[in-house]
A and B are shown apart, each in its own frame.
Chain A
Amino acid sequence: MTTAYEPNVVLSTKEYDVVGTRPIRHDGVDKVTGAAKYGADFYASNMLFAKVLRSPHAHARIKSIDTTDAESLEGVRAVVTSKDFGNLPWTYERDQVMASHKVLYKGHPIAGVAAINSHIADHAISLIKVEYECLASVATVHEAMKENAPILLDDLRTEDDLGNNSESNTNVAKHIQYSTGDIEKGFNQADLIVEREFNTATVHQGYIEPSNFTVNWNQDGRLHIWLSSQGPFEIRGDAAKVLGIPVSNVKVTPMEIGGGFGAKFSVFSSPIAALLSKKTGHPVKVVNTRTEEFESSTPTPGSYLKVKIGITKSGQITSGQAYLAYEAGAYPGSPVGGGANCLFAPYDIPNQLIDGYDVVVNKPKTGAYRAPGSPNAAFAIESIVDELAEKLGMDPLNLRLMNASKSGTRRSDGVKFPRIGCIEVIEAMKSHPHYSTPLKGPNQGRGIAIGYWMNGAGESSITLTVHPDGHINLVEGSADIGGSRASISMMAAEVLGIPAESVHPSVVDTDSVGYTSGTGGSSVTHKAGIVVYQAASDVKLQLLDRAASIWGTDSNSLEMNNGVISSTSNHNLKISFEDLAAQLNDTGGPIVGRAALTTRGPGGAFAGHIIDVEVDPETGKVAILRCTAFQDCGKAIHPSYVEGQMQGGTVQGIGWALNEEYFMNEDGSMANGTFLDYRMPLALDLPMIDTVIVEVANPDHPFGVRGVGEVSIAPPLPAVANAVYGATGIRMNRLPMTPASIANITK
């Protein structure tokens, strides 16, 4: 690496014509002119506006609901409660949409009102009378796991990994355990053992655009949902399930999306809007307020972790033990599994025991958030590894290198790593000028940390239509939250030897494209890349066949390079893609390429951060002075969007580390449900985040892609903590690291 300062470095290992370049994104003009239509921009004629009545209590029994006054208010068209689900049985999913006998968190929906405008709907929900019997609530895993803790779900029993259920009432929904080797033996081999406890607060994804849904229950029984979602097909399936109708009766049209970060997978209020539409015969639109978003969407869990590591004098980790308890929110399903998978993943630890607990608490159901489960785990393990390096007098990157996972290392859950870039990321950190630049002055500290995320794969379906002018229409089903229209188009262009601008991508509704799993798990560029490679290859083969039939030759003797079809045996036979495209209709008909596949082999991703901070010794306030993010992305299709993902994840990680939290009132309600008081980092709080893209090709992808969207959120939590330690000598074991806690004023 050069020593001259470069803010954005790409350590490219293979060059292509289109892949790896930085064209203007296909949806760029509409985004910057404001022409792009987001969910809240959608209007239908005769549309009604809905508001949702939500519980003011964290935990209460519903004794009665009286909607009479709301129904008789002028302008109100319909009111629904859980009774409107009819004879459908009680399920967690249905109860989450609208509570029936109990509310489990402040913000839990109870009823919905549709009116001719949102002001009337708002007024009407205040007229609904609900009688509650308040119950004691639990806000943390500590409270929920206590003996005689208030129970949220009467039917809940602890399920262990073998499917054995506990006998009695509990708030622990699941216990997972991973075991390798012999931890006692491992700790006996260690010269140094460090055990630490960590607590992290519940945090929110904080996307700009609140959730929104417009739903029309057509007279023929077909349901149409317009919304901004990461997973139109998951919404289709879940809405059908909650409403008890066939999946083929539901069509979902994804609008542009203003951020999701994992949270926009839930049906949320769309079934309420559906029931209101069914009752009124009109399309019904519901748009959340920011406070509703905080109080009732799907944040990511607060957690408690206890981690113990044994290491030899020479720096070899011999044993690792961990206890993880993650908040699930009101219903089972925390990302504790993700946390357990990621915790020790960067290291080759021969002896391991991990116990993970999924714990229900009186907060909204948690959802995915960028590498769900991993940041909490990274905070714990990377704080300890930093402490171990210091105690052993070793360079913290060298200690990590010594123990780094590589191809063949087994992850804690038993999965054997394929080719991964853990070592390459650490090497890139070591050789970066940031790492060797001296800090300037007192109260400054430098922290480093690494992190892992599994990444996902899954289904993707793509069709490519050849236009008569040699352009390509690309139809796909992945909601574009990170520039995927550009990256998918670029991969198609690469295969066909045409410019990225000649490909025109459309993200279409669920009736117009094959099943495509959601935009999550950093999966899109991976899965859609594999599929678009096949679809473009399909187009290419058909073009060769067509040229062969025009020329009366064998297609095996033809090839297509740089957008030109030519014969390997006869130099006179040559035609540009553009010229051939113009002749298609007269030479046999249009050409449409297609591919649809359940992809596998996403290739895990590693990231690392170097963060410099300065701490105000009197107030405890942390200033981020410099931050460099490193990440193995396999192959950066569009490096600018990879850098954007790395920077965005980094910023969210820094916010999680320093200021963000669900601040809970005594009564179990959230005190800070606005962007004023839920303190995400703003532009003045951050330096420019420098990036280094490391490319260790994923052998399971035609261009070597690994998912890039998530892992960069994990290392900043411990990197900031380690930097604060460097500046103050205090090890922070609780998130957020508030100024008061850093100033050591704990009351």
Chain B
Amino acid sequence: MKWIDFANPTTLDEAIRLLSEHGEKARVMAGGTDLIVQLRVSPERIGNADLVIDGKGIPELNEISFSKEEGLTLGASVPCYKIYQNPTIAETYPGLIDSASLIGGIQIQGRASIGGNLCNGTPSADSIPTLIAHNVVCKIVGPGGTREVDVEDFCTGPSRTILEPNELLVSLHFPAPPKGFGARYIRFIPRNEMDIAVAGVGASVQLDEKNSVIKSARVALASVGPTPILVNEATSALVGKSPEDESAISKAGQAAKSAATPINDMRGTVEYRKHLCDVLTRRALNAAITRAKGGTIDVH
């Protein structure tokens, strides 16, 4: 029978000290909805960790603050329900709510965090394309101090991230969305809840002040490669085009399809997943454009 120690630090320094002492054998826990299952079912996947460091007691990891100037700072341990139950955030970042309200199920969302979803680093994570679409910057702390990393550079492989063993993710920073910004995350699952994406697409657009030109756009994919994928060719297909330009949207869909490098498995085939990237990209972009124009969409 394996014993696992549990630490409940209340400062970042203490957490960093524990991480530095225990290295690979320590794991930071945000909600624990992935970690606890891994400890039980596949401990080898997380280096047979023997120390769990709870992040829920560290103030910086539980920060949730927003201002129109600074944007949103989301501590790595903030559970999903606190995001979608915050009216300001729900109104300002509906694309983030798309992800926060479909990870796991209601009970899971009571603990699970966006930061944890990112650090778990699975290609199918439902929040990462959303974070990429929102140009999120990750704040990471280690013994040497703080560093900031663009979220699209965070994942390096299936369940692998740029975090060093002695580092932890403190928070995620979302820029304040200017007028004309809209985002949407859609995943495909054969059922309607409690499932892992066969493919997922997070998309965002920034329109000009007349809503007539796409100034910038981002499309990111889940579940179709070893890491979430930022589709730069989709951006090229869209920038400078009218949001009404269906052929630009179609080109972005095709770009997503081309960028995807999925595998065949029980959740879907290569061909079907690539097909879904096209379909979901078009749908996510159209929804993001609707939101960018100030409209609302049926999220079901």
Contact = CB atoms under 8 A, between A and B. Distances in A.
B192 A671 contact: no
A621 B190 contact: yes
Contact of A658 (B190, B195, B266): B190
B36 interface: no
B1 A119 contact: yes
B194 A738 contact: no
A621 B188 contact: yes
A684 B189 CA distance: 12
Given A117-B1, A123-B1, A671-B265, A676 B272 contact: no
Given A117-B1, A743-B272, A676 B266 contact: no
Interface of B: 1-2, 188, 190-196, 265-272, 275-276, 279
Contacts of B196: 676-677
A36 to B, nearest CB: 23
Contact of B194 (A117, A123, A618, A682): A682
A625 to B, nearest CB: 13
B191 A685 contact: yes
25 contacts: A119-B2, A123-B1, A618-B279, A619-B279, A659-B190, A671-B265, A676-B194, A677-B196, A677-B266, A679-B190, A679-B195, A682-B191, A684-B191, A684-B193, A739-B190, A740-B268, A740-B272, A743-B272, A745-B271, A745-B272, A745-B275, A747-B269, A747-B270, A747-B271, A747-B272
Given A619-B188, A658-B190, A743-B272, A676 B279 contact: no
B289 to A, nearest CB: 18
A277 to B, nearest CB: 22
A120 interface: yes
A672 B265 CA distance: 10
Nearest to B194: A682
B221 to A, nearest CB: 15
Interface of A: 75, 117, 119-120, 123, 618-619, 621, 658-659, 663, 671-672, 676-677, 679, 681-685, 738-740, 743, 745, 747
Contacts of B267: 677
Contacts of A659: 190-191
B273 to A, nearest CB: 9
Contacts of A119: 1-2
Contacts of A618: 279
Contact of A738 (B1, B190, B271): B190
A68 B148 CA distance: 54
Chain A to chain B: the 6 pairs with minimum beta-carbon distance, closest first: A119-B1, A684-B192, A663-B266, A740-B272, A747-B271, A618-B279
A683 B194 CA distance: 11
Contacts of A619: 188, 276, 279
A738 B188 CA distance: 13
Nearest to B274: A745
Contacts of B276: 619
A228 B2 CA distance: 31
B128 to A, nearest CB: 19
Nearest to A663: B266
A682 B193 contact: yes
A69 B265 CA distance: 37
Contacts of A676: 194-196
B210 to A, nearest CB: 31
B271 A672 contact: no
B108 to A, nearest CB: 12
A70 to B, nearest CB: 14
A579 B265 CA distance: 71
Contact of A740 (B1, B193, B269, B279): B269
A738 B192 CA distance: 14
Contacts of A671: 265-266
Main secondary structure of the interface of A (DSSP, over half): loop
Nearest to B275: A745
Contacts of A747: 269-272
Given A676-B195, A677-B266, A679-B195, A743 B275 contact: yes
Contacts of B265: 671
Given A117-B1, A659-B190, A682-B194, 10 more contacts: A619-B279, A671-B266, A677-B196, A679-B191, A682-B193, A685-B192, A743-B275, A745-B272, A745-B275, A747-B270
A747 B266 CA distance: 13
A618 B266 CA distance: 20
A137 B71 CA distance: 58
A655 to B, nearest CB: 10
A618 B188 CA distance: 11
A682 B190 CA distance: 11
Contacts of A743: 272, 275
B269 A745 contact: yes
A685 B193 CA distance: 8
Contacts of A677: 196, 266-267
A363 to B, nearest CB: 16
Q: Among the interface residues A621, A740, A743, which one has the most CB atoms of the partner chain B within 10 A?
A: A740
B271 to A, nearest CB: 4
A618 B283 CA distance: 11
A143 to B, nearest CB: 19
Contacts of B190: 621, 658-659, 679, 738-739
A679 B189 CA distance: 10
Contacts of A123: 1
A672 B191 contact: no
Contacts of B272: 739-740, 743, 745, 747
A119 B272 CA distance: 41
Given A743-B275, A745-B272, A681 B191 contact: yes
A518 to B, nearest CB: 32
Contacts of B191: 659, 679, 681-682, 684-685
Given A619-B279, A621-B188, A672 B193 contact: no
A75 B27 CA distance: 29
Q: Among the interface residues A117, A676, A738, A745, which one has the most CB atoms of the partner chain B within 10 A?
A: A745
Nearest to B192: A684
Contacts of A685: 191-193
A743 B276 CA distance: 10
B279 A120 contact: no
A672 B269 CA distance: 15
Nearest to A675: B194
Nearest to A747: B271
Nearest to B279: A618
A672 B1 contact: no
Nearest to A75: B1
Contacts of A672: 266
Nearest to B267: A677
A125 to B, nearest CB: 13
Nearest to B278: A618
Contacts of B269: 740, 745, 747
A740 B198 CA distance: 11
Given A671-B266, A743-B272, A743-B275, A682 B192 contact: yes
Contact of A120 (B1, B195, B270): B1
Q: Among the interface residues B191, B194, B270, which one has the most CB atoms of the partner chain A within 10 A?
A: B191
Nearest to B269: A747
B203 to A, nearest CB: 16
A433 B190 CA distance: 30
Contacts of A740: 268-269, 272
Q: Among the interface residues B2, B266, B268, which one has the most CB atoms of the partner chain A within 10 A?
A: B266
Nearest to A677: B266
A619 B280 CA distance: 9
Contacts of B188: 619, 621, 739
Contacts of B193: 682-685
B276 to A, nearest CB: 7
Nearest to A738: B190
B36 to A, nearest CB: 15
A369 to B, nearest CB: 20
A500 to B, nearest CB: 37
Contacts of A684: 191-193
A663 B267 CA distance: 9
Nearest to A662: B266
Nearest to B272: A740
